[in-house]
Amino acid sequence: MKNLLPFERIERKVLVRKEAETGEGYGCKPEDRKTEGIINYGIINIDKPKGPTSHQVADYVQKILGITKSGHSGTLE
C-alpha cells in the first residue's frame, strides 16, 4: 500500500440498497449501445482551449460529427 493517497488507503464496503432488473424497453447496458445512439443522445466533455468561443466549439462539434444539433451547458471560458 505504498504510494497511495490517504483516501486510497481506506478500504470501503459497497452498499447496495436493492438489486433490480429492468426490461429492454427501458434502455440497454452502456457497452451494448450503438455509436449512433451515443452521438445523438450523449454528452461530450471538451477541454476548450483559449481562443474559440463556446459557440464556435459547439459548431466545430456539429461539423466533425456530422450532426445538426449541439450546444453547451454554461460558460466554458
Instruction: Write out pLDDT tens, residues 6-50.
Output: 888 888 898 988 888 878 788 788 888 888 888 778 888 888 888
pTM of the entire structure? 0.52
Tell me how far apart the alpha carbons of residues 69 and 44 are, in angstroms, rounded to a whole number: 13
Continuous segment of H or E residues that includes residue 74? none
Q: Is 65 in a helix, a strand, or coil?
A: helix
Q: Where are the beta strands (DSSP E) in the chain?
A: none
Question: Do 44 and 21 meet the contact criterion of CB atoms below 8 Å apart?
Answer: no
Tell me how far apart the alpha carbons of residues 40 and 52 are, in angstroms, rounded to a whole number: 24
Q: Which three cell numbers stand for residue 19?
A: 438489486
